[in-house]
Amino acid sequence: MRAVEGDRRLSDPYFYPLYREAARLDLPICIHASAGNFGMLDLFGQDSGFAQFKLPVVGAFHDLLMKGTPAKFPDLRWAFIEVSSQWIPYALNDMELRFRRGNKPWLGPDVLRDNRMYVACQTTDDIPYVRQYVGDDNIVTLIGSRALAAYGDADGSSAANNRLWSRKWTARLLRRSDASASVHGCAGTRSVRLGGAGSVG
């Protein structure tokens, strides 16, 4: 899904039937770097794409948790992809401050796990830092043709190039000196946890 759909945030009850059906089918809701709002396109049309496509995903994560949407769908998984993972500590810190100012109990140290939320990392992320906030089981890698076109495949048209690129970037992640066993899992088994029956969804 896009982080904004028309004039609706993802916490809007308009989407509840979709979330119920996704949970029934054991499909995750994957929020992708994008926004389906013409006003945002007009406002940020000359931008690099950061404010128009990346920040709405951060806002969607924040809004979903602030409004308690994941708690309403206890069997539904959520993923935030193609926006890196290093924004998670910032968003959680901001949310905790807002919860406390509103005299609401904070969601606790395992916010992502407790809400079945996953965030996709990139090879340039400070993974040990992010893992302190995300945990080992809620950080994933998603390497596929769309990610390849967005993050470095020269032409995005060749399946062979995509497979080669995928192997190259997965190997790069695994060679990192800070890659622990959980990061190795992140590049392997944890990359398939989002979908039912061992598929990415």
DSSP 15-28: GHHHHHHHHHTT--
Give the pLDDT of the chain (201 residues) as one tens digit per residue: 888 888 889 999 999 999 999 999 999 999 988 776 656 666 667 776 666 667 889 999 999 999 999 999 999 999 998 888 999 999 999 999 999 999 999 998 899 999 999 998 887 888 889 988 988 888 887 554 444 444 444 444 444 444 554 566 556 656 656 554 444 444 433 333 333 333 333
- In the chain, domain spans: 4-198
Token pair recorded at residue 123:
């090879």
Give the position of tokens 């695994």: 174
| Length reported for the chain | 201
CATH class entry, domain 4-198: alpha beta
- Residue pair 170/163 in contact (Cβ under 8 Å)? The answer is no
The pLDDT of residue 51: 63
Write the CA distances from 119 to 105, 140, 181, integer angstroms: 24, 6, 18
The pLDDT of residue 182: 43
